[in-house]
């Protein structure tokens, strides 16, 4: 299995541990990732005008030029933007022509690149049964709350339910963890306005973490660097917003996958978290 | 039908997410689903109603679209399949183009776009410098300062930007939107030296912090050897 890989800006800075653990676990599973050369920022939620389609479309064109037919985007925001661009280019001829006119010489976009999120690559292309067979160190006794955020499943999607998503739950169960269900698992963390209206982010993040903790979670797992920034880096602000301590470590699903596949905890970047998961992991024997 | 269309509806029809605004029948599912409805002045349902009634100025000078967190809850649930989240993004763009934008989030969006156009990728440190130099939002900055040292220590805030080979290539893909009738205060705030200053301060700060880190690690290594 070979896929094109679009890391996205966050995975080189604030979310390096996501990049690290994703590459390690996919290599262990025998899934080859070929990094897209010269990729550019997708525009996040701040793309404007024609750039909303144009910026991600350049990455799709690069993928076509580099002979890749699929792009894996681990950031929910990039995933959403790349898919939106891919769909727009595929279905709308005028958009395709405009994008192609703006592309540099030698780049031409036909619009048949599949954009996938690594979580659904594991669930739907690799297969849970096959994955289960590779688990050497089940996460028995680990109480984990899956957090989906927004753009992983919204708007409507062929991979999961936007209202009651189940992908992370299924993965966690396959890894042997105890899945904690809670009402805020697909509610927004407010990461998009984290700098300009940080009080809003703190409030929304506080609700999510509080709800997970109340339901009995020891840690939260997620699949988006923006959500991670809100839940991990902003946790001190969220604690002030809800009025009490939270102290919930927030892990990427690839880090938990890595543990279950028997990869040493020291390799999975747990030291890079603001709220350290090490005490909880030590208690469980990792 | 044409005689009931107001100019605002016509203008929106050619923009992202704006061609279905007349479909709205005011059920309020959007406002009921919105996680930031408490922060909004009107909420998406009333915004749509105001668009339908042609109240362009009231819509574009409201704070609502600047608090939209792009969570797609409204879009996902809208029984009329109006892409409300995309519409909010278009309202943000229009507010900037027509000089109504006063919110900090508008400045953040602009700083973000300038940064990725500069390098082709995001460079967080420069983004922060651009944003705080543009807004002088001291209250926000004071709230951010405690978060910076852990980010630096955990390697989450690189000092060297990642770049694409030819950042200029991106210009053709996201041409500057036309900015009509920008009020003077806004025009004055556009400072050409800002990017230079931002890069300069970034470099100095980066050099300073990394040399401090290097020195302390060298000292620790020395002590360990003893």
The pLDDT, as a whole number, for residue B180 is: 61
pLDDT in tens, A37-63: 999 999 998 888 888 999 999 999 999
The region of weakest confidence among A71-80, B12-21, B123-132, B205-214 is: B205-214
pLDDT averaged over every residue in chain A: 95
Q: What is the pLDDT of residue B42?
A: 97
pLDDT at B162 over 60: yes
Quick: pLDDT tens for A103-122.
888 888 887 899 999 999 99
Q: What is the DSSP letter of A267?
A: G
Provide mean pLDDT across the span A22-49.
94
Whether B206 contacts chain A with CB within 8 A: no
Contacts with B131 (C-beta within 8 Å, 6 or more apart), sequence order: A195, B107, B108, B111, B137
- Quick one: closest CA in A to B156, which residue? A14
Q: At a CB cut-off of 8 Å and minimum separation 6, what does A54 contact?
A: A85, A98, A99, A102, B173, B174
Cα–Cα distance for residue pair B67/B118, rounded to 1 Å: 26
Would you say residue B193 has pLDDT above 70?
Answer: no
Instruction: Identify the three-state secondary structure at position A4.
Output: strand
Instruction: Give the pLDDT score at A168.
Output: 97
What is the pLDDT at residue B191? 59
Q: Is the pLDDT of residue A234 over 90?
A: yes
Say whether pLDDT at B56 is over 90: yes
- State the alpha helices, DSSP H only, in chain A: 16-29, 51-65, 76-91, 93-102, 118-120, 128-134, 167-174, 198-214, 225-228, 235-242, 253-260, 278-283
pLDDT at A70 over 80: yes
Query: If one looks up domain B1-100 in CATH, what number appears?
Result: 1.10.1060.10
Judged by a CB distance cut-off of 8 A, whether residue B164 touches chain A is yes
State ipTM. 0.93
Confidence of residue B189 (pLDDT cuts 50, 70, 90): low
The average confidence (pLDDT) of chain B is 88
A235 contacts A209 by C-beta, under 8 angstroms? yes
Query: Where are chain B's structural domains?
Result: 1-100, 102-226
With a cut of 80, say whether residue B198 has pLDDT above it. Answer: no
pLDDT score, position B71: 96
Percent of chain A past pLDDT 90, that is, above it, reads: 88
> CB–CB of B121 and A155 under 8 A?
no
What is the reported pLDDT for A31? 97
Per-residue model confidence (pLDDT) at position B176 = 74
Q: What is the pLDDT of residues A172-223, one digit of tens each?
A: 999 999 999 999 999 999 999 999 999 999 999 999 999 999 999 999 999 9
Report the pLDDT value the prediction gives residue B223, as an integer from 0 to 100: 78
Statement: residue B3 has pLDDT above 60? no
Q: Is the pLDDT of residue B117 over 80?
A: yes
Of B66, B140, B151, the CB nearest to A198: B140
Percent of chain A beyond pLDDT 70?
100
Residue B210 is predicted with a pLDDT of 78
Choose from B156, B160, B180 for mutation: most chain A CBs within 10 A. B156
What is the interface size between A and B, counted as CB pairs within 8 Å?
166
Taking only residues 229 to 258 of chain A, the set having a beta carbon closer than 8 angstroms to any beta carbon of chain B reads: 233-234, 236-237
Residues A124-141 have a mean pLDDT of: 96
């Amino acid at each position: 299995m070979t896929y094109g890989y679009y890391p996205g800006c966050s995975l080189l800075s604030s979310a390096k541990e996501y990049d690290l653990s994703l590459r390690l676990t996919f290599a262990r599973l025998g899934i080859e990732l070929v990094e897209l050369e010269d990729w550019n920022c997708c525009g996040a939620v701040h793309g404007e005008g024609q750039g909303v389609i144009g910026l991600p479309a350049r990455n799709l064109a690069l993928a076509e030029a580099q002979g890749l037919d699929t792009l894996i985007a681990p950031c929910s925001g990039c995933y959403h933007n790349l898919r939106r661009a891919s769909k727009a280019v595929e279905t709308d001829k005028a958009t395709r022509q405009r994008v192609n006119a703006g592309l540099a010489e030698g780049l031409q976009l036909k619009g048949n690149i599949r954009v996938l999120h690594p979580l659904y690559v594991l669930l739907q292309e690799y297969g849970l049964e096959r994955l289960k067979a590779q688990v050497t160190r089940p996460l028995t006794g680990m109480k984990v709350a899956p957090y989906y955020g927004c753009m992983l499943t919204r708007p409507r999607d062929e991979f999961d339910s936007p209202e009651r998503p189940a992908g992370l739950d299924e993965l966690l169960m396959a890894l042997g963890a105890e899945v904690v269900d809670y009402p805020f698992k697909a509610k927004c963390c407010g990461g998009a306005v984290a700098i300009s209206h940080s009080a809003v982010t703190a409030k929304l993040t506080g609700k999510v973490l509080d709800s997970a903790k109340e339901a009995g979670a020891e840690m939260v797992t997620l699949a988006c660097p923006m959500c991670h920034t809100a839940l991990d880096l902003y946790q001190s602000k969220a604690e002030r917003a809800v009025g009490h301590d939270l102290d919930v470590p927030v892990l990427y699903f690839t880090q938990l996958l890595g543990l279950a596949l028997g990869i040493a905890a020291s390799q999975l970047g747990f030291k890079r978290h603001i709220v350290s998961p090490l005490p909880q992991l030590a208690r469980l024997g990792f | 039908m044409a005689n009931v269309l107001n100019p605002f509806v016509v203008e929106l029809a050619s923009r992202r997410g704006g061609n279905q605004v007349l479909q709205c029948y005011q059920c309020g599912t959007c406002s009921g689903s919105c996680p930031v409805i408490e922060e909004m002045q009107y909420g998406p349902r009333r915004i749509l109603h105001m668009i339908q009634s042609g109240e362009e100025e009231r819509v574009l000078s409201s704070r609502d679209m600047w608090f939209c967190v792009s969570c797609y809850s409204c879009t996902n649930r809208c029984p009329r399949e109006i892409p409300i989240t995309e519409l909010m993004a278009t309202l943000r763009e229009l507010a900037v183009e027509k000089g109504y934008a006063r919110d900090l989030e508008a400045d953040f969006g602009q700083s973000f776009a300038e940064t990725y156009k500069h390098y082709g990728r995001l460079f967080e440190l420069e983004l922060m410098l651009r944003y705080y130099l543009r807004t002088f939002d001291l209250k926000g900055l004071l709230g951010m300062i405690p978060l910076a040292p852990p980010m630096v220590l955990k390697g989450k805030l690189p000092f060297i930007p990642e770049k694409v080979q030819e950042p200029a290539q991106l210009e053709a893909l996201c041409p500057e939107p036309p900015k009509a009738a920008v009020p003077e205060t806004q025009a004055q705030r556009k400072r050409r030296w800002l990017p230079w200053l931002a890069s300069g301060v970034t470099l100095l700060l980066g050099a300073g912090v990394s040399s401090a880190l290097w020195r302390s690690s060298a000292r620790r290594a020395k002590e360990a050897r003893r």
